[in-house]
């Protein structure tokens, strides 16, 4: 094929190869379709349809790669996840001037103001719930699960995560808990059902709130759990504990001070809380493509940055756990299920959409595997908080008993 290429094609191809090395890059015969992906070739290879795509990859590698894959102008030959891992590692330090420009521009137009957050969250979480049902667990948990062992199913691991969070917050019956960014409601319902607490759960995704309210009714938990369609900044009232899973990523670093004040207003100096969020080893912008096409306004902070939420209120960090490998495993489960429903998704939402989500899920697995992303659970307490557990032994080891409990919970939620 190389022989029929023009000088321009050859020049562009070799430039892209330098960036992607050791991943191979090949050009399909112009005007012919890119070959269908084969599994496990000797060298993982990217096929590109023409010189325009090659040129765009040089100008703005990340966004162009994502868009070209979504639109079928680029194919991956071999296993997608290891290829993306290799790409992440080889290109970790390179961000072209155009990417930087796009990155800054996205930051500006996707600011997480009250209005901006609404738009950003609507973009992702207000997709039809039926779409997420195709590949999430029956509880509809869209955050990192906790696999007590590697043989646990996704359903078990999501229950184990909910229980781990409750244990880490050492919830006591009758307490009042605020949840910020409550998704489809599973965390709030679990806390109420299994730990006897009352919960006020805040979320600005209308689709999710409607779903969560239905679940609360079905479970007979409406007296204990209130789902409120509002921004975390509007949380009012006093609580014993504050919990937030997967929301810090959508808050934006410029709002950490504000989030800290909201938490302090909610739990005062005597409460405790848990933040569960995707983080980094050191500060750097979130993937430009993900922000443009999947999660507008997202930012994964370094642990150090996230501590800016807690410092001004004199909160003590009690416990930090990094569950990065658990998120890779969670995403593997999601991708497997997604692939099983791939044709269905493509039919209903179009091929571009289906390919975009495949790349997003596979890319996330790769990012957690190579450590480009981390998952932190941070437990903290106010300076007058009493009853802080003496050691971590309160974190239950009775896996068998929990599994049995989890099974009945999974059945109830299905």
Chain residues binding its own copies by CB under 8 A are 146-150, 281-283, 302-304, 307-308, 310-312, 314-322, 324-325, 370-371, 374, 376, 383, 388, 390-393, 395, 397
Contact 362, 80 (CB under 8 A): yes
Taking the complex as a whole, the smallest distance from the CB of residue 264 to its own copies amounts, in Å, to: 12
Taking the complex as a whole, the smallest distance from the CB of residue 281 to its own copies amounts, in Å, to: 5
Cβ nearer to its own copies, comparing 199 with 259: 259
- The residues pairing with 74 across neighbouring beta strands, listed in sequence order, are 48
Cβ nearer to its own copies, comparing 39 with 93: 93
Taking the complex as a whole, the smallest distance from the CB of residue 345 to its own copies amounts, in Å, to: 31
Cβ nearer to its own copies, comparing 32 with 386: 386
Contact 120, 112 (CB under 8 A): yes
Cβ nearer to its own copies, comparing 361 with 375: 375
Contact 19, 93 (CB under 8 A): no
Taking the complex as a whole, the smallest distance from the CB of residue 147 to its own copies amounts, in Å, to: 7
Give, rounded to a whole angstrom, the gap between the first and last alpha carbons of the chain.
53
Cβ nearer to its own copies, comparing 218 with 384: 384
Taking the complex as a whole, the smallest distance from the CB of residue 279 to its own copies amounts, in Å, to: 9
Cβ nearer to its own copies, comparing 217 with 304: 304
Q: Is 276 helix (H, G, I), strand (E, B) or coil?
A: strand
If residue 241 lies in a helix (H) or strand (E), which one and from where to where? Answer: strand 241-245
CB neighbour list of residue 105: distance below 8 Å, 6 or more residues apart: none
Cβ nearer to its own copies, comparing 214 with 325: 325
74-77 and 45-48 strand pairing? antiparallel
If residue 260 lies in a helix (H) or strand (E), which one and from where to where? Answer: helix 256-267
Taking the complex as a whole, the smallest distance from the CB of residue 330 to its own copies amounts, in Å, to: 13
Q: Look-up: residue for tokens 């939402």?
A: 349
Taking the complex as a whole, the smallest distance from the CB of residue 375 to its own copies amounts, in Å, to: 11
374-381 and 316-322 strand pairing? antiparallel
Of 304, 151, 180, 156, the C-alpha closest to 239 is 180
């Amino acid at each position: 094929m190389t022989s029929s290429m023009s000088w321009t094609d050859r020049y562009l191809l070799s430039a892209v190869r330098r960036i992607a090395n050791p991943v191979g890059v090949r050009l399909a015969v112009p005007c012919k379709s890119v070959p269908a992906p084969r599994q496990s070739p000797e060298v993982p290879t990217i096929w590109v349809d023409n010189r325009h795509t090659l040129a765009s990859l040089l100008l703005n590698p990340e966004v162009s790669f994502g868009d070209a894959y979504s639109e079928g102008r680029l194919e991956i030959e071999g296993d997608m996840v290891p290829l993306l891992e290799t790409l992440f590692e080889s290109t970790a330090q390179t961000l072209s001037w155009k990417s930087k420009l796009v990155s800054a521009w996205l930051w500006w137009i996707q600011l997480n103001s009250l209005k901006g957050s609404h738009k950003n969250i609507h973009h992702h979480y207000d997709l039809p719930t039926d779409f997420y049902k195709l590949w999430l667990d029956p509880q509809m948990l869209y955050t990192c699960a906790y696999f007590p062992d590697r043989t646990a199913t996704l359903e078990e691991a999501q229950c184990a995560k909910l229980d781990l969070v409750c244990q880490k917050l050492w919830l006591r019956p009758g307490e009042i808990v605020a949840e910020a960014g409550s998704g489809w409601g599973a965390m709030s319902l679990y806390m109420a059902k299994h730990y006897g607490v009352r919960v006020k759960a805040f979320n600005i995704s209308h689709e999710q709130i409607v779903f969560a309210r239905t679940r609360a009714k079905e479970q007979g938990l409406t007296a204990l759990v209130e789902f409120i369609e509002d921004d975390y900044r509007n949380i009012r009232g006093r609580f014993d504990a504050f919990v937030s899973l997967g929301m810090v990523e959508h808050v934006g670093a410029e709002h950490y001070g504000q989030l800290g004040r909201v938490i302090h207003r909610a739990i005062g100096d005597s409460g405790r809380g848990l933040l569960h969020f995707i983080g980094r080893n050191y500060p750097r912008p979130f993937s430009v493509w993900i922000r443009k096409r999947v999660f507008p306004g997202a930012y994964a902070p370094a642990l150090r940055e996230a501590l800016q939420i807690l410092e001004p209120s004199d909160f003590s960090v009690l416990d930090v756990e990094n569950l990065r490998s658990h998120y890779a495993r969670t995403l593997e489960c999601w991708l497997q299920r997604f692939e099983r429903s791939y044709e269905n998704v493509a039919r209903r939402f179009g091929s571009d959409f289906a390919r975009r989500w495949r790349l997003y899920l596979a890319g996330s697995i790769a990012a957690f595997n190579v450590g480009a992303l981390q998952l932190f659970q941070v437990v903290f307490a106010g300076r007058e908080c009493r009853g802080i557990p003496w050691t971590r032994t309160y974190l239950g080891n009775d896996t068998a008993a929990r599994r049995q409990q989890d099974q009945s919970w999974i059945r109830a939620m299905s």
